[in-house]
Amino acid sequence: MDLKDARVRIDSIDDEITRLFAERMGIARDIAAYKSEHKLPIFDRERERAVLNRVEDKVGPELESYANVLYTTLFDVTRSYEYRSLTTESPIGGAIKQALKDTPEVFPNRSVVACQGVEGSFSQSACDRIFNMPSIMYFDNFRSVFQAVESGF
């Protein structure tokens, strides 16, 4: 298999993971409602340990530490979503959200960014922190960066 074919397969798998993630989060929202109705805590350490043990057994020794990181992160995200789905917005929270909506964004969420340097440089690190998911163009010197910006890329 060549690199292009492998990436096509990865993209297909990512699409399926995304679909399953959305489905999982919908079920988590339903579970949160059930727990709220029955006065049960959102956090269930015993359940999480059982899931981790099951997943680690399935992936085997080579991948178990990676699976642990993946599922621990998934548990954190799920709990956050469950808590958020149960909370009602406070007046101050609503005011803050409205202020954020009314405030123009300084930097766009997705953008093409010109920077001097190479991938892995401090310039790239700065771009990644300032912009959400930037498409970065690298240039050898600042003159080239300015020329790219002036020409509209």
Per residue in 23-48, pLDDT (tens digit) is 999 999 999 999 999 999 999 999 99
Q: What is the pLDDT of residue 107?
A: 66
pTM beyond 0.85: no
Long-range contacts at 93-98 (CB < 8 A, ≥ 24 apart) = none
Residues 6+ apart with CB under 8 A from 42: 32, 35, 79, 82, 83, 86
Alpha-carbon separation of residue 131 from 9, 23, 61, 110, 123 (angstroms): 28, 29, 37, 7, 12
Domains of the chain (ranges plus CATH)?
Answer: 3-89 (1.20.59.10), 112-150 (no CATH)
Task: State yes or no: pLDDT of 153 exceeds 70.
Answer: no
